[in-house]
Structure 1
């Protein structure tokens, strides 16, 4: 069986150890020769890489590990790039959240002005990775789950239209795991779903068991009463900010009782509530820096200090399984049904054909084959049109260096109350992002 070479772009990420653990779990089905880590922050990556080297030596000594800040070294002779970069790291995420909140607007890393700011930083970073891949391994595929996925996907569609890039998101996967748990299933893979929307902006219209029996009545009943809360033991429910998000889904679901929503819709439909319940001094970024960031780097340092990973508390990340499934689908032409972010092009016939929509696809060696969703209701269509306008304006603003279009994008966001507030936020974001954004005129 062929063995594969993989580059994890964003090698210094806290998610990298979980992805490597997942890859090791799948070695029988997806054999690996070499894993390369690539990051432009060598010091940060070194801690992760040194710990992962010990982990691999103990659990899969046949798999080689290389960590590099050199693009040619990292991207030569590879089959897949798994990209999860965060341009500006958590320090910039903190500003993405706190600057809008200062102006009474939702502060969230992928939604509203914060997501737009993050998108303007992510676009050049992701395009750079694509260019490295195409230069050094032109046959490789990029599995991109760098946020904000909606803006990044639109940028890859418009600015790198012929690239072998698959844009994905793990958020629906996490919600489906909670749904499966509430239904008494061991895994979301025991279900088949119908879903449509934009990234972080969609709805499940049906969920079936493997015999084709619809489970939606039970799912709708639970979400309408409890949101996506389970018995309280899931990883997400251990985090205060996520716990409230999962429960808030019941209020979002009330707007369309025949579907169940992506949790992120709360930021667009209840922005006043979100701002009122946000701590402007301590946001999700602070929670992550003091929680996950310290934990993962602490565990990695402990592995290095002890010289063994045998007692590590590092675990497989939920979203990592989706990435490996996607790589297998490409490598072995499995035609697995997966949610992907793809150009609409008729899948939703009453919607912009150039919009990047999140829908079920059958994934094989030639990439995703879209499944037709059909026409969608006016409520969802109208919300989606407004949000697609935001995403397209951001990419145009990046491409043209246009202050005007970025102001329009922020004004158009459903999270922002007026053009005046949008301009005030934009001026603050420009100051904060001088090291990352193109000059705007």
Structure 2
């Protein structure tokens, strides 16, 4: 089995240690010759790298090479896989997005509503440059991108790199939800076989089977309605995630056909989502003072002790999901995963160019989406509205059109008010003047 050369772009991310542990847990199925960390923030990356070096010494001594760099050529030349996890503007800009939105009485969230639009517009330029850099050094590398907001990023990348079938956008939310569903019915998450359709952060599980073909959907629905849905693994104790998963019970009770993606709460119950937030201590503030702080403190402890003793460090389900998808690409496993891909008739009655999120077979020749068929009016209407918002946002970026940004925000189900959209846009333009293009 060929050993792969992998780069993690965004090596200073708070998710990097978890991804490293996921790679270690899958090392028999996805063996690596080298791991390279690449980041533009050398100081932040070095904190993660110092701890990662200890992890590798203890858990992955057979790894031939571990490289930490801020040089693009070193990061990308002759690589087989690039995992991308960047955040343009960092958590401080996310905090601004959320505070501005909530100040106008609108959902403050990093990927949905005005916050998602702001983050997406910041991400596009860096993502395009990153892919161009990778392709200048490794034209055949698989690029697995999980930079948010994935829908807007994927829509933009599709326009610039329309024929690059080795550029894949992936979201961890479906597998995170499946992890909670598996626990409800006392199953292993990797034994679940889901049927799913939608857009990124905007979809539904139509049915769930086990690997033997037994249908589990009704049992899962009954459990959600009677016991509620709980997050698992690394987000199990997070109050915000607990509240998010709990909302799935009401969503399923109101719309019982399908099991919802938890992110639908922001679009179906926007006012409720606003009321539960503290405009002076948003989710970004919770992350800055919580998980991010804890991760870097743990990195410092590991580096100082040169040991993992006493630390709780393990792979997470979304990291393992990413690695399993990489395995399928590398070794042509023809296995099924939920990924983002261009529609092209998979759902015939929504726009063909839309980036959808559906189960697909993963092969060494790319993503092969599994036919969904036409969706009913309610879901079609929601998806077309959401895709129109995503498309207009990306149109606005490439055309420099403030009008299209206003149209996008007005369409977004978290806003649906042109006066509020206009006021929001004025504030977001001022806050993002160093990151967004000029809009006329």
Using the size of structure 2 for normalisation, the TM-score is: 0.97
User: Following the alignment from structure 2 to structure 1, what is the Cα–Cα distance between the partners of residues 221 and 312?
Assistant: 35
Q: Does 2:420 align with 1:389?
A: no
Give the aligned partner of residue 170 of structure 2: 168
Give the aligned partner of residue 186 of structure 2: 184
Residues 316-356 of structure 1: CA deviation (Å, up to 9, x unaligned): 12210011101100000001100010000100011110010
Q: Which moved more, 1:250-259 or 1:74-83?
A: 250-259
Give the aligned partner of residue 246 of structure 1: 245
Give the aligned partner of residue 104 of structure 1: 105
User: Following the alignment from structure 2 to structure 1, what is the Cα–Cα distance between the partners of residues 275 and 115?
Assistant: 17
On the 8 A contact 2:8/2:84 being kept in 1, the answer is yes
Deviation at 1:313?
A: 2.3
Give the aligned partner of residue 287 of structure 2: 288
Give the aligned partner of residue 332 of structure 1: 331
Deviation at 1:101?
A: 0.3
User: Following the alignment from structure 1 to structure 2, what is the Cα–Cα distance between the partners of residues 207 and 435?
Assistant: 45
Q: Which moved more, 1:344-353 or 1:23-32?
A: 23-32
Give the aligned partner of residue 86 of structure 1: 87
Give the aligned partner of residue 401 of structure 2: 402
User: Following the alignment from structure 1 to structure 2, what is the Cα–Cα distance between the partners of residues 199 and 329?
Assistant: 21
User: Following the alignment from structure 1 to structure 2, what is the Cα–Cα distance between the partners of residues 218 and 111?
Assistant: 30
Residues 163-204 of structure 1: CA deviation (Å, up to 9, x unaligned): 22111100110110110010111x211111100000000000
The unaligned stretches of length 5 or more in structure 2 are none
Alignment of 1:339-378 (within 5 A): 339-378=338-377
Q: Does 2:45 align with 1:42?
A: no
User: Following the alignment from structure 1 to structure 2, what is the Cα–Cα distance between the partners of residues 333 and 82?
Assistant: 18
On the 8 A contact 1:299/1:314 being kept in 2, the answer is no
Q: Which moved more, 1:121-130 or 1:360-369?
A: 121-130
Deviation at 1:379?
A: 0.4
Alignment of 1:259-338 (within 5 A): 259-338=258-337
On the 8 A contact 2:121/2:436 being kept in 1, the answer is yes
User: Following the alignment from structure 1 to structure 2, what is the Cα–Cα distance between the partners of residues 197 and 227?
Assistant: 23
User: Following the alignment from structure 1 to structure 2, what is the Cα–Cα distance between the partners of residues 138 and 167?
Assistant: 17
On the 8 A contact 2:38/2:68 being kept in 1, the answer is yes
On the 8 A contact 1:191/1:209 being kept in 2, the answer is yes
On the 8 A contact 1:54/1:303 being kept in 2, the answer is yes
Residues 99-120 of structure 1: CA deviation (Å, up to 9, x unaligned): 1100000000000000000000
Give the aligned partner of residue 60 of structure 2: 60
Q: Does 2:155 align with 1:154?
A: yes
User: Following the alignment from structure 1 to structure 2, what is the Cα–Cα distance between the partners of residues 422 and 224?
Assistant: 36
Give the aligned partner of residue 215 of structure 2: 214
Using the size of structure 1 for normalisation, the TM-score is: 0.97
Q: Secondary structure, in 3 states, of the residue corresponding to 2:338?
A: strand
The root-mean-square deviation of aligned C-alpha atoms, in Å, is: 1.3
Deviation at 1:235?
A: 4.1
Q: Does 2:205 align with 1:204?
A: yes
Give the aligned partner of residue 126 of structure 2: 125
Aligned length: 438
The unaligned stretches of length 5 or more in structure 1 are none
Deviation at 1:234?
A: 5.0
User: Following the alignment from structure 1 to structure 2, what is the Cα–Cα distance between the partners of residues 287 and 42?
Assistant: 24
On the 8 A contact 1:7/1:35 being kept in 2, the answer is yes
Deviation at 1:302?
A: 0.7
Deviation at 1:219?
A: 1.2
Give the aligned partner of residue 230 of structure 2: 229
Q: Which moved more, 1:161-170 or 1:219-228?
A: 219-228
User: Following the alignment from structure 2 to structure 1, what is the Cα–Cα distance between the partners of residues 43 and 282?
Assistant: 26
